[in-house]
Amino acid sequence: MTEPKVVRMTAPTLRDVAQLAGVHPATASRALNPQTRPLVNADTARKVLRAAESIGYQPNPIARSLKTARSSTVGLVIPDLTNPLFPPIVRGIEDVLTPAGYNAWIVNTDNDPGREETQVESLRSRQVEGLIVATARREHPLLQRLHQSGVRMVLVNRRVDGLELPSVAADDDAGIAMAVAHLAELGHTRIAHLAGPQQTSTGVARARAFRHAMIDNGLTDDPALTVECGYWSESEGAQALRKLLDSGARFTAVVAGNDLIALGCYDVFAERGLTCPDDISVVGFNEMPFLDKMRPPLTTVAIPHYEIGVESARLLLDTLEDPERHPRSVLLAPSLVVRASTAPPK
Partner DNA sequence: AGCGGGGCCGCAATCGTTTGCGTTGTGATG
Partner DNA sequence: CATCACAACGCAAACGATTGCGGCCCCGCT
Of 277, 284, 296, 345, the one binding a copy of itself by CB under 8 A = 296
Of 55, 96, 105, 144, the one binding a copy of itself by CB under 8 A = 105
The terminus-to-terminus CA distance of the chain in angstroms comes to 87
One character per residue 63-82, x = contact with a copy of itself (rule: CB under 8 A) = x-xx----x---------xx
The candidate with the shortest Cα–Cα distance to 171, out of 333, 335, 336, is 333
Please give the order of strands across the beta sheet that includes 103-108: 103-108, 73-78, 130-133, 153-156, 167-170, 329-332
Q: Is 324 helix (H, G, I), strand (E, B) or coil?
A: coil
Least distance between DNA and beta carbon 267 (Å): 50
Least distance between a copy of itself and beta carbon 32 (Å): 14
Beta-carbon contacts of 251 under 8 Å, excluding residues fewer than 6 positions away, are 190, 191, 192, 225, 244, 280
With CB under 5 to 8 Å by kind, the binding choice for 40 among a copy of itself, DNA, none is DNA
Contact, 244 vs 253, CB < 8 A?
A: no
Q: Is 150 helix (H, G, I), strand (E, B) or coil?
A: coil
Q: How many CA atoms lie within 13 A of 323 on its CB side?
A: 8
With CB under 5 to 8 Å by kind, the binding choice for 295 among a copy of itself, DNA, none is a copy of itself
Least distance between a copy of itself and beta carbon 177 (Å): 27
With CB under 5 to 8 Å by kind, the binding choice for 289 among DNA, a copy of itself, none is a copy of itself
268 binds a copy of itself (CB under 8 A): no
61 binds a copy of itself (CB under 8 A): yes
Q: Is 85 helix (H, G, I), strand (E, B) or coil?
A: coil
With CB under 5 to 8 Å by kind, the binding choice for 293 among DNA, a copy of itself, none is a copy of itself
Q: Is 328 helix (H, G, I), strand (E, B) or coil?
A: coil
Query: Between 23 and 288, whose beta carbon lies closer to DNA?
Result: 23
The candidate with the shortest Cα–Cα distance to 136, out of 197, 81, 90, is 197
- What does DSSP assign to residue 23? S
Determine the interface stretch with a copy of itself among 27-35, 86-94, 169-177, 198-206 (rule: CB under 8 A). Answer: 86-94
Least distance between a copy of itself and beta carbon 345 (Å): 22
Q: Which residues bind DNA (CB under 7 A)?
A: 10-11, 13-15, 22-27, 29-30, 32-33, 36, 38-45, 57-60, 63-64, 66-69
- Alpha-carbon distance of 226 to 215, in angstroms, equals 14
Cis peptide before 84 (omega within 30 of 0): no
- What does DSSP assign to residue 250? -
With CB under 5 to 8 Å by kind, the binding choice for 39 among DNA, a copy of itself, none is DNA
Tell me which residues touch a copy of itself (CB under 8 A).
Answer: 11, 58-63, 65-66, 71, 81-82, 84, 87-88, 90-91, 94, 103, 105-106, 108, 121-122, 125-127, 263, 266, 289-290, 293-297
